[in-house]
Structure 1
Amino acid sequence: ITQSLNQKSSEKIKLKKKMQKCCRLQPPHLEHPDEMSTLKGKDSRYNEDLQNLLCSCQCADVAFYPEDLSTVVEAHKIILCSASHVFMLLFGVKSPADIRDASIVQTAHTLFQVEAGAARPPGPYGIPASISPVRVVVKDFIVFSCLPDVLHFIYSGVFQWEQLEEETKKKLKDPEKIEHVLETVKCILKIPGKDFNSHQIKCLYNQSLRRFFKNPVLADVIFKIQDDTVPAHKPILVARCEVMAAMFNGNYLEAKSILIPVHGVSKETFLSFLEYLYTDSCYPDSIPQAMSLLVCAEMYQVIRLQYICELYVITHLQSLPSRELASTSLGVVSLVKKAKFHNSNCLSTWLLHFIATNYLIFSQKPEFQDLSAEERRFVEKHRWPSNVYLKQLTEYRNYVKSQKSHCTVM
C-alpha cells in the first residue's frame, strides 16, 4: 500500500511539473525583417551608343572618299583616334616623332590623304570655328569598299574580329582581297612597337577615350562651370546622353555655341559626370558625392549612371555597423527626400526600408521627425522589431522577473 501511495504521489509531482512547464511563458519569436526592395541592374550601352553614333552620323567631323570622289562615308575623329595611332597621325593628334614606329607612319601616308586646306584656323578658345568635316581620300579602293564594315568594327570596341572577317568575305569573295583588307585593318590598329594582337587592342580601346577626357585636343565645345572651363567633344556627348544630343542637334542656342554654361551642379560633380560619359565607369568617394552625381545624372537623363549612384549609396549604408550607424551624422531621412525629389523612387523606397529595419536606431534621431505622415506610416508598418514583438518581449521579461522574485521569497 505504501509503495502504491508513493508511486501515485510521484506521478502527481511529475504531472504538476509538466503542467507548470506547459504554462510557463515562452520567449517571443523574433521574425526576420521585411525583405528590402532590390534595384534592377542596368546593362552598359557603351559600345551600342558608339555604334548608334556611327549609324546616325550626328556631329560627324570627317568624311572619307574614294579617289574618284563618287561616294562618302562619314565618321568621327575622336573615335578613330581613340582606336588607332594611324588616325592620330592623320589628324595631327600625334607627330611621327611621338609615335616612333615607321610602319604606322607608312600606313598613314600610303592609305590616306587629307585634302589640302582641310586644316582650319583656331577660333575662340582654340576651337576651329568651321564645322565642316575634314575630307580624307582613301587611296586603296578595295579597302574603301569595306570601310563601312571596318568602321563598325572600330566603333563596336574592336571586339568582333570574327564578324569583320565574315562581312569582308561576303563582300569581296576573292581570298587575296579579303586577306589584303584584313591585314590593312591590322596595320591601322597596330600599337607602336608591337605586332598586332587582338587582346592588346581590346585592352587599349577599353581605356582609349579616357585620354581625351578634359583634353582640349579635338575638342569642339567648352563647358563653363564655376569660373572654370572644361573642354569636351560633341560626338561623345551626343552618343552617350540623349539630352545633350537634343541640345546640340536641335533648335537650341547650344547647337551653335562653343561655350556652354553649366548651372546647378559643382565642377567636381560635372567632371565625374563627363568622365562616366567618356569611360562608362564611375567611382564616387562618398554618399554625398554619389547623391550629387545622381542629381546630375537625373538632370541629363543618364539612367545607368543613376543606377550606379543608387547602388553605391545602398552598398555603403549596408556596410555600416550598427554602432557607426547610430553615431553617423549622415542624414538618411534627408537622403529619402532628395531621392524622391529627383525621381529615384527605388532608392527612396529602399532607404525607408532601411530606416524601418534599423528602427530602434533611427527613431532616436532628431531627423526621424522630418518624415512625412506617409513615410512614417510606411516605416511603422515595416519596422523591425515590430511593436507586437516588443510588447511580447516586455511581457516575457516581466514574467521572468516575477518568477525570480517568487523564487527569492520561497
Structure 2
Amino acid sequence: MVDGGGTTFLNPVRTRIQSRERAAGSRMGRVSLPGTSSTCLKAVLEYLYLGQFSPRPELDCTELLILSNRLCLPHLQALTEQHAVDELLKSYVQGADIDGQVLLYLEIAQFHNAKQLTTWCLHYICTNYNAVCRKFPREMKYMSLDNKSHFERYRWPPVWYLKEEDRYLRCKKEREREEELIRKQHSKNKWCFWRPPSSSSVS
C-alpha cells in the first residue's frame, strides 16, 4: 500500500522491527550478571577453566555464594562456604567481633542454600547466644521460627542451666549471710564472758 506521496505505510513498522532485531542480535552471546564484581567473576572462571579456587583478599564471599548458587555450582559454593568460615575464625582468633557478620552470613546462607555455612553460623550463635542477644536484640527477635526453635534447643547456656545457676547463687548468698550472723554472734559472746587476767601477787 502506497499513499499519494509514494511513501509505504509499512515502512515505519518494518524499520521498528529491524531495529529490534539488530538490538537482539547485538545482545546475543552476552550473559547479564547484575551485582557481580570482576573479582567474583574471575573466581568463577578460574574454577570453571582450571578446576581450582584461589580466593583473593578482595573477594566478597557473600557475592560469590550468591553467584555460585545462581549458576548451580554446588562444589564452588561449598568451597566458598569453607573459605568464609576460615576467614571468620581467623578474625575471631585475632580478637575481632564477628557476631554481626555471622548474623549476616546466616541470612544469606539460608536464602541461597549454603547449608554448610548455615550450620556453622547456627552453631556459633548458639554457643554465644547471650552475647549475640545483648548486641543484636532486634535481629534475634525477628529471626525465623525455625531459627528460634533451634536456638531454644541448642543455646548455651541452656535455660535450665541458668535457672539452676540462679538458684545456686541465691542459696550461696543466704548461707554466707547466715555464717556472717553466726560469726558476729560468737564475737559478741566472746566479749560478754571476757575477764581481765588477774595480776599475780608479788611475794
Normalising by the residue count of structure 2, what TM-score does the alignment of the two structures yield?
0.65
Q: Secondary structure of 2:105's match? A: helix
In the alignment, is the contact (CA less than 8 A) between 2:128 and 2:156 conserved in 1?
Answer: yes
Of 156, 159, 166, which residue of structure 2 is paired with 1:384?
Answer: 156
1:317 aligns with 2:103: no
Distance 2:96 2:164 in 1: 29
Q: Deviations over 1:222-277 (max 9, x none)?
A: xxxxxxxxxxxxxxxxxxxxxxxxxxxxxxx99x9455443342222112222222
Q: Deviations over 1:162-187 (max 9, x none)?
A: xxxxxxxxxxxxxxxxxxxxxxxxxx
Q: What's the CA shift for 1:342?
A: 0.9
Counterpart of 1:409? Answer: 181
In the alignment, is the contact (CA less than 8 A) between 1:333 and 1:370 conserved in 2?
Answer: no
Distance 1:291 1:284 in 2: 14
User: Would you tell me which structure has more helix in proportion to its own residues?
Assistant: 2
Counterpart of 1:201? Answer: none
Q: Secondary structure of 2:64's match? A: helix
Counterpart of 1:356? Answer: 126
Distance 2:166 2:99 in 1: 31
Of 265, 271, 277, which residue of structure 1 is paired with 2:36?
Answer: 265
Q: Deviations over 1:40-76 (max 9, x none)?
A: xxxxxxxxxxxxxxxxxxxxxxxxxxxxxxxxxxxxx
The alignment's C-alpha RMSD in Å is 2.7
In the alignment, is the contact (CA less than 8 A) between 1:284 and 1:290 conserved in 2?
Answer: no
Matched letter for residue 363 of structure 1: C
Of 67, 80, 83, which residue of structure 2 is paired with 1:296?
Answer: 67
In the alignment, is the contact (CA less than 8 A) between 1:282 and 1:308 conserved in 2?
Answer: no
In structure 2, relative to structure 1, the CA distance for the partners of 1:324 and 1:262 (3 Å cut) is closer
Q: List alignment gaps of at least 5 residues for structure 1.
A: 1-252
Q: List alignment gaps of at least 5 residues for structure 2.
A: 1-23, 183-203
In the alignment, is the contact (CA less than 8 A) between 1:333 and 1:371 conserved in 2?
Answer: no
Counterpart of 1:397? Answer: 169
In the alignment, is the contact (CA less than 8 A) between 2:68 and 2:74 conserved in 1?
Answer: yes
Q: Secondary structure of 2:116's match? A: helix
Q: Deviations over 1:372-407 (max 9, x none)?
A: 122111111100111111111111111221221112
Distance 1:365 1:358 in 2: 11
Distance 1:388 1:311 in 2: 34
Counterparts of 1:1-400 in structure 2, within 5 Å, are: 257-279=28-50, 280-285=52-57, 289-319=60-90, 320-321=92-93, 324-325=96-97, 328=98, 330-366=100-136, 367-400=139-172
Matched letter for residue 154 of structure 2: H
Larger relative contact order (C-alpha < 8 A, sep ≥ 6)? Answer: 1
Normalising by the residue count of structure 1, what TM-score does the alignment of the two structures yield?
0.34
Distance 1:324 1:296 in 2: 27
Mark the structure with the bigger radius of gyration: 2
Matched letter for residue 114 of structure 2: S
In the alignment, is the contact (CA less than 8 A) between 1:336 and 1:352 conserved in 2?
Answer: yes
Distance 1:271 1:284 in 2: 10
Alignment size in residue pairs: 154
